[in-house]
Every structure is written in C-alpha cells, then in structure tokens.
C-alpha cells in the first residue's frame, strides 16, 4: 500500500469490528464470569428454576458482552425451552416500556403504547409462558437507570412473585455499573442473587484486546505499536475499554481524512478532542 490513500480506498478491513454493539467471536479475560452466568441460566434450559444473578463492575468491563455471548450460546442449544429477554434499560427506562419490550420478545407482537394497565401486561406475560410451557430469564442491562427512576424494586419484585399465581419459572439478572442497589425487606425475601463481579481490565489485557481488534478490523501496518500503547494508556486512565476501541476507530478515520495509510499521534490527539466534545453534548 502506498503512503497515501486515494478517495476510494480505506484503512478498514471491517469497520464493524470497532462498533459498540460488536460481539467478538473470541471474548477474552471474562471466562470465569461467563461460566457463572451460564451456570445460573442452565437449569432453565431443562424447565427448572434459574438462579438470580447480579453482574456488577465499572463501565467497559465486559458485562454486556459476556451476557450476550451466553445468550447466543443458550439460544443455539435450546431455542425452544427457555425465553431469554434482554432489555437495555438505558433506552427502556419506564415500567411499561420494560414490560412491553419483554412481551414483544416473547410473542413478536408490540402491545399498545398506552391503555393497558401494568397488572394486565404482567398477566399476559405470565399466561403466555404457561400456555407455551416455557420458562423465562430476564436480563435488565444498565439497571441503574431503573434504580434512579425508582421502579427497579417494583419490576424485580413483580417478576419474581409471578410463580405465586402461575405455574411458571422466571429468573432474573440485573447488570449495574455502580453498586448493587439496596434492597428492602420485601424484596430480599425473593431476590437473593449470586453476585458476579467484573473488575477493570489490566493494561496488558486492554492492549491485547485492542491489538486483536486491529488485526481483524484494519489492514496491516496502519497502527504502530507506540500509537497502540498511547491509546491503551488513555483507555486505562478511563477504566473503560470501550473508550479505547472508540479512540482507535476515530484515530483511523482521522488518518483517512489526511489521506494517510498510517495513524499518527496527531490523529489520536484529535480523536481525544472529538470524544470529549461528543461526551459533553451527551450531557446536555
């Protein structure tokens, strides 16, 4: 490859490798956590009661990807016995919208946006499980958003008490980036979760993960080692590997804007400013 790009060329072999929703085929350094998640869900594949779990750790420590990897594995093995309802509470923040999303995942039908009482929607979910002879495991990712809106306790309590009225099995996983919320006495009687901790990645782990993305997603020699080390430093300082992945992508895009085949430190510096500006916009 020459030292400059023509207008139709790109440095990306696959830009999706650097997207926030990308789930890598080989997911490293979270084997223990994924085994614990799989162990909690496994009984539901045979129609038995799953274990309730809480996944907790700082942002960008692999919680969501670990959950999604296990979901993919379970659905490939047992697509018929267990319904896995994954809800991203960052975007689904009301009591009704959480129930509506779960019902839609179960039936493929989206309930009306209004006019149905919460109790009626819980009944529809429960009756669907009983009629289809299925168990369900609900994953509330970014559940901190439900805690802040003071609906977390009600949702967890209502789901875990459905078995008192219906012959069904429902398990629950909540995913938090802060700390596990304080539970009132009524909830602790039904929600006794296994805590699965996700510590921050080490410098070496982040460097290795980023380097693997580069090898898959970029053409050779686009990223020099010193650039990789600098981006790793920034990711470690933020404690968030997603920041490093985003910085990688932005730096390469900036190199392309210069029509260069190699990312330079100046591209990283501009990427840092861009990421900072975008974060500021998101706070408004």
Tokens of 32: 């223990």
Partnered with residue 218 across adjacent β-strands are: 12
**Secondary structure of residue 274 in the 3-state scheme:** helix
Mind listing the domains of the chain with CATH numbers? 15-23+201-283 (1.10.8.60), 31-197 (3.40.50.300)
Q: How remote is the C-alpha of 44 from its chain's centroid?
A: 21
Tell me the pLDDT of the chain (284 aa) as tens digits: 457 888 889 999 999 999 988 999 999 999 999 999 999 999 998 888 999 999 999 999 999 999 999 999 998 886 678 999 999 999 999 999 999 999 999 999 998 877 789 999 999 999 999 999 999 999 999 999 998 888 999 999 999 999 999 999 999 999 999 777 767 777 888 888 999 999 999 999 999 999 999 999 999 999 999 999 999 999 999 999 999 999 999 999 999 999 999 999 999 999 999 998 886 665 44
Distance CA 12, CA 165 (A): 54
Partnered with residue 56 across adjacent β-strands are: 176, 197
**Secondary structure of residue 170 in the 3-state scheme:** strand
Backbone phi and psi for residue 176, each to the nearest 5 degrees, phi listed first = -130, 145
Distance CA 49, CA 26 (A): 29
Distance CA 115, CA 244 (A): 44
125-148 per-residue burial string, b: 16 or more CB within 10 A, e: under 16: bbebbeeeebbbbbbbbbbbbbbe
Q: Write the CA distances from 163 to 29, 126, 172, 191, 254, integer angstroms.
A: 36, 9, 13, 13, 55
Residue by residue, DSSP assigns 65-93 as HHHHHHHHHHHHH-TTTEEEEEEETTT--
Backbone dihedral region for residue 268 (phi beyond 0: left; psi -120 to 50: alpha; all else: beta): alpha
């Amino acid at each position: 490859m020459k030292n400059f790009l023509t207008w139709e060329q790109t440095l990306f072999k696959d830009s999706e490798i650097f997207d926030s929703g990308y789930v890598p085929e080989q997911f490293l350094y979270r084997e223990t956590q994924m085994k614990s998640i799989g162990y909690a869900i496994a009984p539901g594949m045979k129609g038995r009661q799953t274990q309730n779990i809480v996944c907790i750790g700082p942002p960008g420590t692999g919680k969501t990807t670990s959950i999604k990897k296990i979901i993919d594995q379970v659905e490939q093995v047992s697509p018929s016995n267990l319904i896995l309802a994954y809800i991203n509470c960052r975007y689904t923040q009301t009591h009704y919208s959480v129930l509506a999303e779960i019902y839609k995942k179960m039936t493929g039908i989206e309930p009306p946006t209004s006019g149905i009482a919460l109790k009626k929607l819980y009944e529809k979910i429960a009756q669907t499980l009983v009629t289809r002879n299925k168990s369900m495991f609900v994953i509330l990712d970014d559940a901190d958003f439900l805690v802040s809106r003071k609906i977390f306790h009600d949702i967890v309590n209502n789901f875990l008490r459905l078995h008192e009225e219906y012959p069904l099995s429902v398990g629950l996983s909540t995913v938090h980036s802060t700390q596990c919320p304080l539970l009132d006495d009524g909830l602790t009687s039904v929600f006794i979760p296994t805590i699965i901790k996700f510590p921050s990645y080490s410098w070496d782990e982040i460097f290795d993960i980023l380097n693997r993305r580069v090898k898959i997603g970029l053409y050779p020699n686009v990223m020099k080692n010193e650039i990789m080390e600098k981006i790793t430093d920034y990711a470690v300082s933020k404690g968030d590997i997603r920041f490093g992945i985003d910085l990688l992508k932005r730096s390469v895009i900036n190199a392309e804007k210069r029509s260069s085949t190699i990312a330079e430190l100046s591209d990283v510096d501009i990427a840092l400013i861009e990421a900072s500006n975008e974060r500021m916009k998101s706070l408004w």
